[in-house]
Amino acid sequence: MGLVLRENWQHRWQCTIKIPGIDGLSSPICSWSEKNTSHMLEPVMNGRPPLIRLERVTRSYSEGSQQHNVLHDVSATFAQGEIVVLMGKSGSGKSTLLNLVSGIDLPSSGEIWIDGQSLTRLSEHERTLFRRRQIGFVFQFFNLVSTLTVLENLLLPLELNGYGGTQARQKALDMLARVGLEQRQHSYPDRLSGGEQQRIAIARALVHDPVLILADEPTGNLDSETSQQVLDLLDSLTRKAGKTMLMVTHSAEMVGLADRVFRLREGRLIEEALASISQV
Ligand SMILES: Nc1ncnc2c1ncn2[C@@H]1O[C@H](COP(=O)(O)OP(=O)(O)O)[C@@H](O)[C@H]1O
Ligand SMILES: [Mg+2]
C-alpha cells in the first residue's frame, strides 16, 4: 500500500458591484481566488486510488433520554473499482451506512469522503446533485416508477443529468440491451417478473455512468435462481465498467465474488478475511 497526496481546491469568482454615482464606477470589479481547502495523504490500495473514505464515523439516534449508537467510530477506505460486500444482522446499521455514503443521511460525527469530496461539507442541495450524478442505487423492492414504462424509467436519471433527445434514448436502449430486456422497453413495471424488474433497476442505476453503485439487499425479494442471475449481472456490469460497488447482501455467492467483505457488529465495521468466511 502506497500513499498519494490529494489536494482539494476551491475556486471562485468574487464580484463587487460598485454603484454608479456613489463611487464613480459603473462596472463590477471581479477577482479570481483559489484556496487549497485541505491536504490529505490517502492510501493507494493494490494500485487503485481510494474512492470512499469513512473517517471515525458515528451515527446515533436519541430515543427519549437514551442515545443509540448505530455506527460507532467507523473508519474504512474502499478503492476505485472494488466490489465490497457488507453483512450484519438485521438492525446492525447496514442501510444506515449506505445512506451515509450516498449523502442521504449525515453522520453525527466524523467525515465521509467520496472521490476527494467531503460530503459533510456540502449543502443539502449540493449533496442531492452529487448523488444524482455520482451514485446508482439498487433497492430490495426495485423502486421503479410504476406509471412510467421501462424506457421512461431509464430516461429519468439521464434527464436529471442533462441528457435529452435521441442521445438519451440511445443510451437507455444500449443499457437495456446489456441487461437483456431491450424488447420490454414499452412495458410497465407491473407487467415484469421480480427478476426482470430488478434487471431494469440495475440498468437504471448504471445508465448515467455513476462512479459508485450502492445495492441494499438487491436479491432480498427474489427466489434463489433469479437471485443468482441478478447478482451475476450486477457483478459483471460493475466490474466491466470499472465501477465501485458497495452491496448489502447475505448471499454466499456474492461473498464469493466480492473483493472484500465487511461485517457490522455492535456498531463497528470489521473486515472479514475472505478465506475464513465459511458461514454467511
Ligand atoms: N430515523 C431513525 N430514527 C431512529 N432509529 C433509527 C432510524 N433509522 C434507523 N434507526 C435504527 O438504526 C438501527 C439500524 O437500522 P438499519 O441501518 O436500517 O439496519 P439494517 O439495514 O442493518 O437492518 C436500527 O435499530 C434502527 O431502528
Ligand atoms: Mg437494511
pLDDT at res. 261: 97
Of all protein residues, the one whose alpha carbon is nearest to atom 17 of ligand 1 is 93
**Mean confidence (pLDDT) of the chain:** 86
Residue 257 makes CB contacts below 8 A (sequence gap 6+) with: 83, 231, 235
Q: In this predicted model, what pLDDT tens digit does every residue of 57-87 receive, in sequence order? A: 999 999 888 999 999 999 999 999 999 999 9
Domain that holds residue 225: 51-272
CA distances from 102 to 22, 74, 201, 228, 257 (A): 49, 16, 17, 26, 23
Which ligand is closest in space to the CA of residue 96?
1
Q: Is residue 117 part of a domain?
A: yes
Q: Is residue 223 part of a domain?
A: yes
Task: Select from 58, 96, 268 the residue to mutate for testing ligand 1; criterion: most ligand atoms less than 8 Å from CB.
Answer: 96
Q: How confident is the model at residue 277 (pLDDT cuts 50, 70, 90)?
A: low
CA 264 to ligand 1: nearest atom:
22
Per-residue pLDDT, averaged over 172-197, amounts to 97
Of all protein residues, the one whose alpha carbon is nearest to atom 13 of ligand 1 is 91
Per-residue pLDDT, averaged over 232-251, amounts to 94
Kindly report the CATH number assigned to the domain that includes residue 194: 3.40.50.300
Q: Is residue 255 part of a domain?
A: yes
Q: Is residue 156 part of a domain?
A: yes
Provide Rg for the chain, Cα atoms: 22
Query: Distance, CA 171 to ligand 1 centroid (Å)?
Result: 36
The count of domains in the chain is 1
pLDDT at res. 46: 65
Q: Is residue 8 part of a domain?
A: no
Quote the DSSP letter at residue 150.
H
* CA–CA gap between residue 143 and residue 235 (Å, rounded): 20
Residue 101's nearest CA partner among 204, 4, 215, 200 is: 215
Q: Is residue 29 part of a domain?
A: no
Q: Is residue 252 part of a domain?
A: yes
Query: Distance, CA 63 to ligand 1 centroid (Å)?
Result: 12
Q: Is residue 250 part of a domain?
A: yes
Q: Which residues line ligand 1 (CB under 6 A)?
A: 61, 70, 88, 90-96
Which ligand is closest in space to the CA of residue 216?
2
Of all protein residues, the one whose alpha carbon is nearest to atom 24 of ligand 1 is 91
Angle CA 207–212–216, to nearest 5? 95
Q: How confident is the model at residue 43 (pLDDT cuts 50, 70, 90)?
A: low
- Report the predicted TM-score, pTM, of the whole model to 2 decimal places: 0.84
Residue 86's nearest CA partner among 212, 195, 214, 203 is: 214
